[in-house]
Amino acid sequence: MNRLIEKIKNEGRVLPGEVLKVDGFLNHLVDIELLEWIGNEFYERFRDEEVTKVMTLEASGIPPAVMTAYRFKVPLIFAKKAKSSNLGDQNLYVANVKSYTYSNEFAVTVVRDFISKDDKVLIIDDFLAKGEATKGMLEICRQAGAQVAGIGICVEKGFQPGGKHLRDLGYHVESIAVVASMNDEGGIEFEDDYK
């Protein structure tokens, strides 16, 4: 049984503009038992990839990424959306990201000492729509010379181009729940066989 799909069916809400609200259990108020299941699911899907670090983008990707990193017993690094004053003048990897949710562009940063060419990084995020956030994390991995072990997504909007584009580039993308369609009346359909 796919616990995430069941949770979305029971508690998720579709809003106008193809917005799927899962903030009551995934990315605001967090259902820890569901997150534990998600971490185990990503572990099973990527267990043979020799993952050395898990990476996500703050803030909504952090809960599933924490549980995944815990399951792999590796560090978690999250790309920060704003350069905080405590980073000082450290060398940073920087990538620009276009936000689907907020309709703006921002820079994300990772301290250079935290990721290197010796790392094999598993990217984890809560949503994949057009793939812009993922592209930003891929760019940081490229700058660091790190390998990408794969990309784990909680909810993929299969009717948008992000997942297909990343797979066409040759990345191993695993999505726990793939939404085939949504409508403004609250209807949601999932792909029969999730990726």
Mean pLDDT value of segment 97-102: 73
Whether residue 102 is predicted with pLDDT greater than 80 in this model: the reply is no
The verdict on residue 125 lying in a domain is yes
Domain enclosing residue 99, as ranges:
3-190
Residue 195: predicted pLDDT: 42
* Number of domains making up the chain: 1
State the average pLDDT for the chain. Answer: 92
**pLDDT band for position 185 (cuts 50, 70, 90):** confident
The DSSP string of the chain is --HHHHHHHHH-EEETTTEEE-TTTTSSS--HHHHHHHHHHHHHHHTTS---EEEEETTTTHHHHHHHHHHHT--EEEEBSS--GGGTT--EEEEEEEETTTTEEEEEEEEGGG--TT-EEEEEEEEESS-HHHHHHHHHHHHHT-EEEEEEEEEEETTSSHHHHHHHTT--EEEEEEEEEE-TTS-EEE-SS--
**pLDDT band for position 101 (cuts 50, 70, 90):** low
Whether residue 90 is predicted with pLDDT greater than 90 in this model: the reply is no
The verdict on residue 184 lying in a domain is yes
CATH classification at residue 171: 3.40.50.2020
The verdict on residue 195 lying in a domain is no
Residue 88: predicted pLDDT: 58
